[in-house]
């Protein structure tokens, strides 16, 4: 659906579960992504893909699987999630309604870190989202110690606003980029 110079960004399919599991099973990747940094099982990767597919069906957008063009290897996900800003839990825009905040998020397996893939993919999804989804703004929820993700947010034009506490009890920084519309 979206192509960059080095990546293909595609809506999720069940066959990508092993790629999702690769990063979900890595404690270093999960350190800032789950309440206690816990890893997940393969069944969780299957469930995650199904939830992303539901988001695409309900809202017409969701996370993309990031695939390296040169190898055809799926290296993570970059895309859109919705959050209820009253209690900061994730859902679909269809479930949450007009108050939904649209998050641009990224998670790559560790082998893909340090190559600029997250910034490349996030910038492409940002541009696509602003044109096709047209949210009030895009946000990114970033753990305050996740310096790599904060640098990606800065590079794509987001700025730190304030901290929020998710429904899971995790304090994260809310970064945002206003929509041009």
Q: What digits encode the pLDDT tens for the residues 23-78?
A: 999 999 999 887 777 899 999 999 999 999 999 999 999 999 999 999 999 999 99
Judged against a pLDDT cut of 70, whether residue 180 lies above it is answered with no
**Per-residue pLDDT at 160:** 97
Q: Is the pTM of this model over 0.85?
A: yes
CA distances to 30, 80, 141, 147, 151 from 177, in Å? 25, 14, 12, 18, 14
Q: What digits encode the pLDDT tens for the residues 74-126?
A: 999 999 999 999 999 999 999 999 999 999 999 999 999 999 999 999 999 99
pLDDT band at 131 (very low <50, low <70, confident <90, very high): very high
Q: Is 151 part of any domain?
A: no
Q: What is the CATH number of the domain that holds 59?
A: 3.40.630.30
Strands (DSSP E) found in the chain: 2-3, 7-10, 63-68, 74-84, 89-91, 101-108, 137-142, 159-165, 171-178
Q: Is 80 part of any domain?
A: yes
Judged against a pLDDT cut of 70, whether residue 181 lies above it is answered with no
pLDDT band at 168 (very low <50, low <70, confident <90, very high): confident
CB 152 within 8 A of CB 141: no
pLDDT band at 153 (very low <50, low <70, confident <90, very high): very high
Q: Is 152 part of any domain?
A: no
Structural domains in the chain (count):
1
Q: Is 101 part of any domain?
A: yes
Q: Is 100 part of any domain?
A: yes
Give the structural domain span for 22. 2-136
Q: Is 119 part of any domain?
A: yes
Cα–Cα distance between 39 and 44 in angstroms, integer? 10
């Amino acid at each position: 659906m979206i192509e960059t110079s080095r990546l293909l960004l595609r809506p999720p399919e069940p066959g990508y579960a092993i790629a999702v599991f690769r990063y979900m099973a890595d404690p270093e990747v999960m350190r800032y992504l789950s309440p206690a940094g816990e890893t997940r099982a393969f069944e969780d990767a299957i469930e995650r893909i199904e939830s992303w597919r539901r988001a695409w069906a309900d809202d017409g957008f969701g996370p993309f699987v990031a695939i390296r063009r040169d190898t055809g290897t799926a290296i993570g996900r970059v895309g859109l999630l919705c959050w209820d800003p009253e209690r900061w839990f994730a859902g679909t825009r269809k479930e949450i309604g007009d108050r939904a905040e649209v998050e641009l998020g990224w998670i790559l397996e560790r082998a893909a870190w340090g190559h600029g893939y997250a910034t490349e993919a996030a910038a492409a999804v940002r541009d696509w989202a602003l044109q096709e989804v047209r949210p009030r703004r895009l946000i990114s929820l970033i753990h305050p110690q996740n310096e790599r993700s904060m640098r990606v947010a800065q590079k794509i034009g987001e700025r730190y606003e304030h901290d929020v506490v998710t429904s899971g009890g995790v304090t994260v920084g809310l970064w945002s980029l206003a929509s041009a519309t």
